[in-house]
Amino acid sequence: MTVLLAACGGGSGFEPTAVSTPAAAPTPGPLWSDVPPLRDAAAQTGRMIGAAVFSSRLGSDAAYTGAASRHFNYLTAEWEMKWNPIQRTPGVFDFSGGDRIVDFAESRGMRVKGHALVWHGATPEWVNALSPPELRIAFEDHIRTVAGHYRRRVYAWDVVNEAIDDSQPGLRSTVFSRGLGPDYVAEAFRLARRADPEAQLIYNDYGAEGLNRKSNDVYNLVKDLKERGLVDGVGLQMHISATSFPAVADIQANIQRLADLGLQVNISEMDVRIKDVPGDAATKLQRQRQVYRDVVAACVAVARCEAVTLWGFTDAHSWVDGFFGADDPLLFDEQYRAKPAFFGVEDAYLRR
């Protein structure tokens, strides 16, 4: 459980910085290289299994690279394709990190999901200082340039991320909603469609996994966008704790109602925290296995739920440690040994 500190580098952006902590007690699972590729199990159901990655570790860390290559067929940039890293300085685009991830995926026959064109949580400081007319120009330029750069190289884009408010109906107040008005969401999709007509365009959010006010708002938003031909899919983030998460039946019902709109659905950023599960390490890990199994099975049960992406894959590198506190939320431990959670996901794909 390496701790990632969310350093608030000014404005709304926050970036990862790694801080080493003592290793968690090792679990006696088999090494990443000694378990069957998870991607094969997912492919048996026609599904993609994805992971968020950092380009700096691909190629430089043998176990990280090996496990990513062996087990996944869909990659997402955990950080490097957001606005802040790509256009830290106005008008200067740095595609190096995203390009490395796309090159890596292409050379291994994996697909890529771009993440994310518009997210208030990864907006460079200079964006916050723009007047509304300047913001409109920057917004249009960013979406056109980035989606255009990755045209035909990404399978899908998270176009707008986390636009719905947590505590009141409707849109969250952000630099975009304030400066551009509520139609900025539709506008982002229109611009992305024009820049990359083949990409699946996704609305992505958290806290909208089950059936609740926020997921109703997401439903209504994407229903409207779908009727206007602007959105193709929805991502349900699924950053959950094994001690409190939506009822699996509600998750499945929510996936189903979104699918019934004609949308593709994906579980887009899954991790399962276990710190608060009562009992010893083995109990926590078994509970985590069950949660992974049940949630992935809810996706497998709906034909249009085409992908599950995990927000990382090894407990050595998870954003959870910095954001929620030290935990072990992923499928492989720090030594890249398959945890019970790995087998829970496998069970879901093999319908066990």
Binding site residues, ligand XIL, CB under 6 A: 4, 6, 14-16, 78-79, 161, 237, 269, 311, 319
**Closest distance of CB 240 from ligand XIL, Å:** 12
Helix (H, G, I), strand (E, B) or coil at 137: helix
Nearer to ligand XIL, 110 or 163 (CB): 163
Q: Does the active-site annotation cover 269? A: yes
Q: Min. distance of Cβ 43 from ligand XIL in angstroms?
A: 26
For the question of residue 334 being annotated catalytic, the response is no
Q: Which CB, 27 or 174, lies closer to ligand XIL?
A: 174
The burial class, CB within 10 Å (0-12 / 13-18 / 19+), for 63 is middle
Burial of 98 from C-beta contacts in 10 A (0-12 / 13-18 / 19+): buried
CA distance 213 to 85: 33
Distance CA 113, CA 116 (A): 9
Give the ranges where the chain is alpha helix by DSSP (H): 38-44, 62-71, 83-86, 96-107, 125-128, 132-149, 175-180, 184-195, 213-227, 248-259, 281-300, 319-323, 340-349
Say which of 78, 80, 162, 346 is annotated catalytic. 162
Residue type, 109: G
Catalytic residue among 78, 187, 209, 269: 269
Q: Smallest distance from the beta carbon of 51 to ligand XIL, in angstroms? A: 12
CB nearer ligand XIL, residue 15 or residue 141: 15
Q: How far is the CB of 203 from ligand XIL (least distance, A)?
A: 12
Q: Which residue is nearest to ligand XIL (CB)?
A: 319
* Nearer to ligand XIL among residue 269 and residue 334 (C-beta): 269
Q: How far is CA 85 from the centre of its chain?
A: 17
As given in the structure block, the two tokens for residue 343 are: 């087998």
Cross-strand pairs, 240: 272
Q: How far is the CB of 286 from ligand XIL (least distance, A)?
A: 26
Which residue lies nearer to ligand XIL by CB, 79 or 313? 79
Closest Cα partner for 331 from 122, 41, 85, 110?
Answer: 41
| Residues identified as active-site | 162, 269
